[in-house]
Structure 1
Amino acid sequence: MTTADYIALALFLALWALYSWLTAGSGSRFFPRLSLNRAMAERRRNWIYNSLRRDLKMIDTQILAGLQNGTAFFASTSIFAIGGCFALLGSTDKVEDVFSNLPFVYYGGRTAFELKVAGLTVLFGYSFFKFGWAYRLFNYCTILFGALPMMHDTNADRAKAEIAADQVIQMNTIAAGHFNAGLRALFLSIGYLGWFAGPYMFMAMTAIVVFVLTRRQYFSDARLALMDPVSDTKDKQERDMRT
């Protein structure tokens, strides 16, 4: 491990923390532009409140099931990735022969390689716990959603119905936050793989991944599709320029 390796690792963690801080809305004072995640949180609220106006909620339960199934898929993927990391540790001798003969690749030795694989394992382990907890919270959200009153009871006591809906919204938003954190770790693992080619490749790939993720959160067509053309004139003009 060289000084450049420690600098690259510190940059990786710093960019990860900064990106998470911005997309969560904590940095809205310094960067007021609405992120895609925060815009979707408002759409979740609209969805749940809209469900109070109908008794037949089969569509809503299908949406909730889809959220759970997607979370379970990525949790399983993380488990497979962890298994792949352990398999990689068992093949260190073969990997050492390959890396030592590759041009333009800095190989720091067996110990450094095993430490990098251990770090990658921790990264996938973090994503698994995030996905696992998100799956559990989506399950709780389904139960809370089942407790929402029917239209007759909603019309009789609107305030009580909205309190129940707010609980569903909050649980759903928290679950989505953990899901996004796990997904973010998987995306950043692509940048982490650059470390096996050297610290400078690690820094470059991390910067590229964070740049792509930031663009998708703040400047993508998906974000523009969620913006209100009446309340957000600037985003409307940006959409018109693209189309």
Structure 2
Amino acid sequence: MTTADYIALVFFAAIWFGYARLLQSSSFFGRTSLTHAMRERRREWIYNSLRRDLKMIDTQIMAGLQNGTAFFASTSIFAIGSCFALLGATEKVDAVFADLPFVFHSGHAVFEMKVGGLAALFGYAFFKFGWSYRLFNYCTILFGSIPMMRDSEHDVIAAERAAERVIRMNIIAAGHFNEGLRAIFLSIGYLGWFINPYVFMLTTTIVIVVLTRRQFFSEARLAIMDAQPPSNLHLSPIPRAKPSNDGNDSSEGL
């Protein structure tokens, strides 16, 4: 490995850590990130579930979150297997790279080390997706403990505590999912190292710029920020129909 390789590797780790720290902050140049905005939407969703007894919609959302996490976990496993298969064909791949222009030919050992680093990235992503899947499973169980609408009206505080448990678990699971997805995205930038360290730094920078734009300057963020969540998300009484004078239930007010 050359000095440029070491610099590129340190640059990759630093920019990854810096971007993760950036997302942990509440804002960037006064702009709320897409991830933080979605936290409020998750809170709004769970509190809305307290106002309905039929929760099939909520369970479908939970199932969708779990299925998406399982898909990326399986993809990470396949990617790890591909890396090990690539190690078995080191001589053939190295011969191909040796004939390409602008590629720094550094030998079998460095090439195998780079493939091992790529496998480590996918391994990190798999552990994040696997833990996220389990947390979403816990979130589903906690969601089952949310009381029915009538019970929620009788004990509002207990209902809100149950909702907060679900919200916190859902946000934690989503955080691990986002970290795994970030590793998948950065693995695209990591592929530039197989060409040369300068391309490695360039592709990593491009990936981070794209991710930053999506978080703080994308249309998806605008779609979420246009509708602000209500200032008070606490459970409020649900209006019910008043009985009519003839003893039958009136349909007005439903």
Cα distance, 1:174 vs. partner? 0.1
How far, CA to CA, are the matches of 1:75 and 1:229 in structure 2? 33
Give the SS at the match of 1:210. helix
Count of equivalent residues: 229
Give the SS at the match of 2:194. helix
Who is 2:251 aligned against? Answer: none
Over 3 Å counting, the alpha-carbon distance change for 1:160 and 1:131 in structure 2 is: same
Who is 2:249 aligned against? Answer: none
Cα distance, 1:6 vs. partner? 0.7
Over 3 Å counting, the alpha-carbon distance change for 1:154 and 1:7 in structure 2 is: same
Whether 2:20 is the aligned partner of 1:16: answer no
Contact map agreement 1:25 1:38 (CA 8 A) in 2: no
Contact map agreement 1:107 1:196 (CA 8 A) in 2: no
Cα distance, 1:32 vs. partner? 3.7
C-alpha deviations, 1:61-109, integer Å up to 9, x for none? 0000000000000000000000000000000010111111111111211
Residue 55 of structure 1, aligned match among 31, 53, 56: 53
Among all aligned residue pairs of Structure 1 and Structure 2, give the percentage whose two residues are the same amino acid: 71
RMSD: 1.3
Written as runs of structure 1 = structure 2, the 5 A alignment for 1:74-223 is: 74-223=72-221
More divergent stretch after superposition (172-181 vs 95-104): 95-104
What is the TM-score when the length of structure 1 is the normalising length? 0.92
Cα distance, 1:230 vs. partner? 6.8
Task: Could you tell me which runs of 5 or more consecutive residues in structure 2 were left unpaired when the two chains were aligned.
Answer: 230-254
Who is 2:245 aligned against? Answer: none
Who is 1:5 aligned against? Answer: 5
Structure 1 segments, 4+ long, off by >4 Å, are none
Give the SS at the match of 1:148. coil
Cα distance, 1:160 vs. partner? 0.7
Contact map agreement 1:127 1:186 (CA 8 A) in 2: yes
How far, CA to CA, are the matches of 1:162 and 1:42 in structure 2? 15
Task: Could you tell me which runs of 5 or more consecutive residues in structure 1 were left unpaired when the two chains were aligned.
Answer: 232-243
Cα distance, 1:31 vs. partner? 4.3
How far, CA to CA, are the matches of 1:230 and 1:160 in structure 2? 26
C-alpha deviations, 1:140-190, integer Å up to 9, x for none? 000000110001110001011000000000000000000000000000000
What is the TM-score when the length of structure 2 is the normalising length? 0.88
Give the SS at the match of 1:38. helix
Query: Rg larger in 1 or in 2?
Result: 2
AA in 1 matched with 2:73: A
